[in-house]
């Protein structure tokens, strides 16, 4: 079950965190993995890890906010069976404290970057007879999260794009879904705590962990397992859906 043999998968932001876990799991399950990443060193490390286990992988340095660059990479790769739009950036701020520059920066990566990759992938998938697109949204798309104005905006757009793509290409054998994680323990979280709460990292980590009813953050591997299911043939009847993976955050917090 959940084999990706003979599938070509493109994963954006696959050099660290959730993207890295997805790339490694997809490689283990037989996919030829292509990582789109700004950090060449991080991407190369993941490629080496996949190859060390007998898998096939390649890294591509690319800014997903630049459509011409994205199309160049997709054209180079050729056949695309699976696209995982994982790359994204965060921002802390309310509407009145978010600068235009920061708003545009979040939009360019999280919204336009997702669009650019969908734009390129759909063209390939229509030629090839179908495929799977999986977008990384967030619980911030459906519930109010304090001080996450621009980030919430961008993830709401990702959710809306997911539904639109699923509707538009359902007759073309292209499935599109998204995953909405709550807090997941990645290197980003550790860096965020070190930068904003020096000396109080452990206390803040415990506080953030407790915001999920299960009492902890998720792991990248747990998100990757859900991604594998949604991109596999076993999920062939699933499209146009958002999958929260949130430790009960949305439904159980009062």
Catalytic residues: 151
d(CA 104, CA 240): 27
Q: Can you tell me which residue has the tokens 């802390």? A: 92
Report how far apart, in Å, the C-alpha atoms of 164 and of each of 70, 109, 141, 203, 240 are.
Answer: 21, 19, 15, 41, 8
Which distant-in-sequence residues (6+ apart) come within 8 Å of 4 by Cβ?
26, 29, 30, 31, 82, 228, 231, 232
Distance separating alpha carbons of residues 151 and 165, to the nearest angstrom: 21
Cα–Cα distance for residue pair 130/165, rounded to 1 Å: 13
| CA nearest neighbour of 137 among 152, 122, 119, 117 | 152
Distance CA(11)–CA(32), nearest Å, equals 11
Find, among 171, 50, 146, the residue nearest to 11 by Cα: 50
């Amino acid at each position: 079950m959940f084999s990706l043999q003979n599938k070509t998968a493109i994963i954006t932001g696959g050099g660290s965190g959730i993207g890295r876990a997805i790339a490694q799991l997809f490689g283990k399950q037989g996919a030829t993995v292509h990582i789109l990443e700004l950090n060449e060193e991080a991407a190369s490390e993941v490629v080496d890890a996949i190859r060390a286990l007998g898998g096939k992988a390649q890294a591509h340095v690319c800014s997903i906010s630049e459509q011409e660059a994205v199309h160049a990479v997709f054209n180079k790769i050729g056949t695309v069976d699976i696209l995982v739009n994982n790359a994204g950036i965060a921002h802390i701020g309310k509407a009145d404290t978010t600068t235009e520059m920061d708003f545009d920066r979040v939009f360019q990566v999280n919204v336009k970057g997702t669009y650019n990759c969908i734009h390129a992938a759909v063209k390939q998938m229509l030629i090839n007879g179908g495929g799977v697109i999986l977008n990384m949204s967030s619980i911030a798309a459906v519930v109010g999260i304090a001080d996450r104005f621009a980030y919430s905006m961008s993830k709401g757009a990702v959710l809306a794009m997911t539904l639109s793509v699923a509707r538009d290409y359902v007759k073309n054998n292209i499935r599109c879904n998204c995953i909405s994680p709550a807090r997941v323990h990645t290197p980003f979280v550790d860096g965020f705590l070190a930068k904003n709460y020096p000396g109080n990292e452990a206390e803040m980590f415990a506080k953030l962990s407790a915001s999920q009813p299960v009492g902890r953050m998720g792991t990248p591997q747990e998100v990757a397992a859900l991604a594998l299911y949604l991109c596999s043939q076993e999920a062939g009847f699933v499209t146009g859906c958002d999958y929260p993976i949130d430790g009960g955050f949305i439904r159980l917090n009062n």
